[in-house]
């Protein structure tokens, strides 16, 4: 602790390269789970598919057993925002589901989430997912050009606020975080603009950037399982997340095969592999 603030863990290049290995395993596992998210499958089926990829790679899950969490992924369907527990729920045509997972390689963590539209999507759900994903990339781009961690949330907020059409809500109770030798570490990464600038961005900083947006009000509640977070108005939600490293040459998205190039280059940022 320094002046009452949790200490931030700054990684070496070698440690960040190992985090990228974990991120590549995670990316493949999410690819498999996303492909399996079709009408008629259960959320437990998705957990099984994800687990098979992680286990076959010789990696470990950082979700399973975390404070007692019983699965390798969170599956949050429709009005469920985050931390949904896989089980017997059968996906139906028109559902929207956020799949959030993580992997560990040699003690170093990765964390990433994607939203999937099941079957025939509702156009407003598609817009919700698209805006959430784009907001995440704007936040990541701000990490490359900004000076303080608070610049990430400001960029996310500015993008969401300027999107044409019906306003979408940015959850404030659940935020991104530092990541490295543990899954959740300092600093918090807010998804909205505040007067607090946060710590300085410098090489060795690794963050999980994860905006969560809703079609209605941002008020949430936790279900009786003590995990699943839902919107109190029953409106639908979306979550997108990537783990990102800052190094002396630039940034690299640890949980993306191309380091984020496909989405960052159009925003004026060219990700650089970790030296």
Q: Write out the binding residues for a divalent metal cation.
A: 100, 111, 177, 210, 241
Sequence-distant (6+) residues with CB within 8 A of 14 are: none
Contacts of 62 (CB under 8 A, 6+ apart): 102, 103, 104, 109, 111, 183
Radius of gyration of the chain (CA): 17
The rounded distance, in Å, linking the Cα atoms of 8 and 19 is 16
Binding residue positions? 83, 100, 111, 177, 184, 210, 241
Alpha helices in the chain (DSSP H): 13-36, 43-56, 123-145, 150-162, 261-264
Binding site, annotated residues for substrate: 83, 184
Residues 221, 178: contact at Cβ < 8 Å? no
Report the C-alpha gap between 80 and 76 in whole angstroms: 5
| Run of H or E including 71 | none
Cα–Cα distance for residue pair 178/181, rounded to 1 Å: 10
SS3 23: helix
Residues near 36 by beta carbon (within 8 Å), at least 6 away in sequence: 45, 46, 49
The per-type count for the chain, helices as H runs and strands as E runs, is 5, 14
C-beta separation of 118 from 190 below 8 A: no
* Greatest extent of the chain over all pairs of C-alpha atoms, in Å: 52
């Amino acid at each position: 602790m320094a002046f009452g603030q949790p200490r931030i863990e700054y990684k070496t290049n070698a440690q960040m390269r190992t985090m990228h290995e974990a991120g590549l395993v995670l990316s493949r596992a999410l690819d498999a789970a996303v492909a399996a998210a079709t009408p008629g499958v259960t959320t437990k089926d998705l957990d099984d598919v994800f687990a098979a990829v992680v286990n076959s790679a010789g990696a470990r899950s950082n979700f399973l057993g975390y404070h007692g969490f019983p699965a390798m992924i969170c599956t949050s369907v429709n009005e469920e925002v985050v931390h949904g527990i896989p089980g017997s729920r059968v996906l139906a045509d028109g559902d929207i589901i956020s799949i959030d997972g993580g992997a560990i390689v040699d003690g170093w963590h990765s964390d990433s989430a994607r939203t999937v539209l099941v079957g025939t999507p509702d156009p407003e759900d598609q817009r919700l997912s698209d805006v959430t994903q784009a907001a995440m990339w704007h936040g990541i781009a701000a990490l490359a050009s900004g000076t303080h961690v608070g610049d990430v949330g400001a960029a996310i907020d500015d993008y969401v606020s300027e999107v044409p059409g019906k306003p979408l809500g940015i959850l404030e109770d659940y935020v991104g975080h530092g990541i490295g030798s543990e899954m959740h570490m300092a600093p918090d990464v807010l998804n909205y603009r505040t007067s607090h600038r946060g710590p300085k961005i410098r090489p060795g900083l690794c963050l999980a950037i994860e905006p969560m947006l809703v079609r209605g009000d941002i008020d949430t509640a936790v279900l009786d399982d003590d995990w699943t977070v839902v919107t109190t108005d029953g409106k639908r939600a979306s979550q997108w997340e990537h783990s990102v490293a800052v190094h002396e040459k630039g940034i690299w998205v640890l949980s993306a095969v191309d380091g984020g190039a496909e989405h960052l280059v159009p925003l004026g940022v060219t990700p650089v592999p970790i030296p």
